Amino acid sequence: MAAEVRQRKPEKGGEVQPVKDEDKAIVAAPVPEEVKDHRSDGQKLRDRWRATKAWCHKHPEVPLMLVTLCIALYAIKYFASPPTTPKVFDKKSLSLYNGQKNAPYYLAIMGEVFDVTKGKKHYAEDKGYGFFVGRDASRAFITGDFKGDLDDKVTDFDEQQCKSLLEWRDFYRKTYPFKGRLDGPFYNAQGQPLKALQRVEEKAKKAKSHEELRREQEARWPSCNVRWTEADGGSVWCDDGQYPRKITTSLPDGKPTARCACFKDVGWSDVRQIYKGCHPEATHCKVLDEQPPPGADSGEGTEAGLARVKKAQAGATAQQA
């Protein structure tokens, strides 16, 4: 495409300049073949890389200087602000962070101290949770006794309570700035974790894995609907034409627990019992007692077993007649 020669812009206050002949000549002049770049983009990149490498070979001191500079900058940054160890509070120093005389509001949970000033609508002295401020009241977080349990004694907590306590700590970790550790049952005066902390964490871990197992069992053997009224007593039933059976499951180091589960097939066994007085094919059963119905002998329930139950029930009806 032919290059176009535009009129020159007028100089300040001047008139529009006509295009000069020598300008036309510049544009019209062909680009010399050696000036044109016929290389592909990839080739250009490779050439540039080769040129840089050649330059580095010629000046070997420069890359070395750059590496030294980076190390020096990192060292300056590191020594200017070394990784800090958390501040350790004792009971008295923590109690001073109570919102009085413009002090911030701090509280501790499981020996971790948080600045809860941004939540002062809950923690100010005259608000609902002001009693948590300036102390570690881990126990009250679980028992809900906001008078007698405002302390950090949790050794008697069971696995589930330990798990709930850790959930409260997670809430504070996520919501409020961490300020340090409290010298007490969970951390020592140097801020190092103590056995009591480890024990709570281990118990909570167990509760978590038991919960997962329970969820797995529930997914595998879904629970029946259950109802109890004073007039009618208990009853269990399944939707979608499934059959209620009493099963007994247990968790590692836990007691076996019985519950009603729904099964798609009509079978039964010692560990999958039919509710007493309930027909094996019924989808709705009254809970009379814990024994399997007559004829529901041990071993997997089968069509033959079902026939036996029907026969036994038919016999009983005939006798009554």
Question: Contacts with ligand HEM in 85-144 (CB under 6 A)?
Answer: 116, 119, 122, 129, 141, 144
Q: How far is the CB of 130 from ligand HEM (least distance, A)?
A: 10
Which strand ranges, in their side-by-side order, compose the sheet holding 284-287? Answer: 225-229, 233-237, 284-287
Q: How far is the CB of 198 from ligand HEM (least distance, A)?
A: 24
Q: How far is the CB of 175 from ligand HEM (least distance, A)?
A: 6
Question: Contacts with ligand HEM in 3-22 (CB under 6 A)?
Answer: none
Q: How far is the CB of 174 from ligand HEM (least distance, A)?
A: 11
Which position has the token pair 């490779």? 46
Q: How far from 247 is each of 36, 166, 217, 300, CA to CA, in Å?
A: 86, 32, 11, 13
Q: Which residue is nearest to ligand HEM (CB)?
A: 144
141 vs 187, which CB is nearer to ligand HEM? 141
Q: How far is the CB of 179 from ligand HEM (least distance, A)?
A: 15
Backbone angles phi, psi at 261, to 5 degrees: -125, 150
137 vs 309, which CB is nearer to ligand HEM? 137
For residue 263, which of 227, 287, 236, 286 has the smallest C-alpha distance? 236
Q: How far is the CB of 66 from ligand HEM (least distance, A)?
A: 49
39 vs 127, which CB is nearer to ligand HEM? 127
Q: How many CB atoms lie within 10 A of CB 166?
A: 19
Distance between CA atoms of residues 193 and 117, nearest Å: 26
H or E stretch at 299 = none
Three-point CA angle 272, 277, 283, nearest 5°: 65
Distance between CA atoms of residues 64 and 68, nearest Å: 6
176 vs 186, which CB is nearer to ligand HEM? 176
How many residues form the binding site for ligand HEM (CB under 6 A)?
A: 6
Report residue 42 as tokens.
Answer: 């990839």
Question: Contacts with ligand HEM in 272-301 (CB under 6 A)?
Answer: none
119 vs 277, which CB is nearer to ligand HEM? 119
136 vs 262, which CB is nearer to ligand HEM? 136
Distance between CA atoms of residues 287 and 258, nearest Å: 13
Backbone angles phi, psi at 141, to 5 degrees: -60, -30
Per-residue contact flags (x/-) with ligand HEM for residues 143 to 162, judged by CB under 6 A: -x------------------
287 secondary structure, DSSP code: E
Q: How far is the CB of 219 from ligand HEM (least distance, A)?
A: 30
The answer to whether the beta carbons of residues 91 and 186 sit under 8 Å apart is no
Q: How far is the CB of 171 from ligand HEM (least distance, A)?
A: 7
Give strand pairing partners of 228: 234
Helical segments of 181-299, H only: 195-220
167 vs 290, which CB is nearer to ligand HEM? 167
Classify 262 as helix, strand or coil: strand
114 vs 275, which CB is nearer to ligand HEM? 114
Binding site for ligand HEM (CB under 6 A): 116, 119, 122, 129, 141, 144
